[in-house]
């Protein structure tokens, strides 16, 4: 498993499912952390933000700020992401997420955050953006052969050397058969997380898997090894 010297937490569905280790890491950044809340789409984000505020507030995070990368981007806000204590990427369609990250230039802000040692936390489709590729999502509607053929066109930010499959506990066996076949033809491992689980990467290079995670490699399913 790759070890990266940046503070990055990839989760299946935090905070929808609780994870004490993730929350502790967020609250450890400062006494009252300022968190940028980043959805893939403006409309979806606005519809969910009030609930997100209440959820985070119940966890002790009261400074949650909407950060739009879609229809109403604030260039000063996006350019100053490194001024936040935590940057949180929500769930959502990973293909749309990837497109808007590229279009908005948010990847520059992400690099600035990492250079400043800011903590990045992401869930589901948002978490997939920090891996090698987002093609796993395409398996929902396309054949393994088609997804593999177009794999290189769906590269993600590549901060970790694996692909991420969230919501493992909700996936049926038919889809997991496709995932195993897919793992035979891609070079990266696939880390699959159940809801409530997280991969925690620290800036000293340490990595921990909190909750249940498994790895797919070469058509086989094995435990996550760190």
pLDDT for res 226: 66
Q: What is the pLDDT of residues 14-51, one digit of tens each?
A: 999 999 999 999 999 999 999 999 999 999 999 999 99
Q: What is the pLDDT of residues 127-148, one digit of tens each?
A: 999 999 999 999 999 999 999 9
Confidence of residue 224 (pLDDT cuts 50, 70, 90): confident
Q: Helix axis angle, 94-104 relative to 106-115, nearest 10°?
A: 80
Q: Please give the full DSSP string across 40-63, using - where no structure is assigned.
A: SSHHHHHHHHHHHHHHHHHTT--E
pTM of the model: 0.95
Confidence of residue 3 (pLDDT cuts 50, 70, 90): very low
Q: Which residue did the predictor score with more confidence, 205 or 188? A: 188
- Annotated domain spans of the chain: 8-223
**How far is it, in rounded angstroms, from Cα 163 to Cα 39?**
20
Question: Does position 4 have pLDDT exceeding 70, yes or no?
Answer: no
pLDDT for res 5: 58
**8-223, CATH topology level:** Rossmann fold (3.40.50)
- What is the mean predicted confidence (pLDDT) over 118-128? 97
Give the strand pairing for 198-201 and 220-223: unpaired
Mean pLDDT of all residues in the chain? 94
């Amino acid at each position: 498993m790759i070890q990266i010297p940046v503070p990055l937490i990839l989760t299946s569905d935090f905070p929808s499912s609780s994870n004490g280790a993730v929350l502790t890491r967020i609250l450890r950044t400062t006494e009252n952390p300022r968190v940028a809340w980043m959805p893939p789409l403006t409309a979806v984000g606005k519809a969910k933000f009030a609930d997100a505020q209440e959820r985070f507030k119940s966890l002790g995070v009261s400074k949650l700020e909407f950060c739009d990368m879609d229809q109403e981007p604030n260039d000063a806000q996006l350019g100053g992401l490194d001024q936040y204590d935590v940057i949180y990427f929500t769930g959502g369609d990973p293909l749309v997420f990837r497109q808007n990250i590229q279009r908005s230039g948010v990847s520059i802000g992400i690099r600035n955050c990492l250079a400043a040692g800011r903590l990045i936390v992401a869930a589901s489709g948002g978490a997939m953006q920090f891996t090698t590729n987002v093609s796993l999502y395409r398996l929902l509607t396309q054949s393994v052969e088609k997804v593999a053929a177009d794999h290189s066109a769906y590269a993600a930010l590549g901060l970790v050397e694996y692909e991420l499959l969230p919501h493992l506990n909700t996936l049926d066996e038919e889809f997991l058969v496709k995932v195993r076949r897919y793992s035979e033809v891609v070079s990266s491992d696939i880390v699959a997380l159940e809801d409530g689980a997280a991969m925690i990467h620290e800036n000293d290079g340490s990595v921990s898997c909190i909750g249940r995670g498994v790895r797919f490699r070469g058509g086989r399913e094995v435990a996550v090894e760190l």
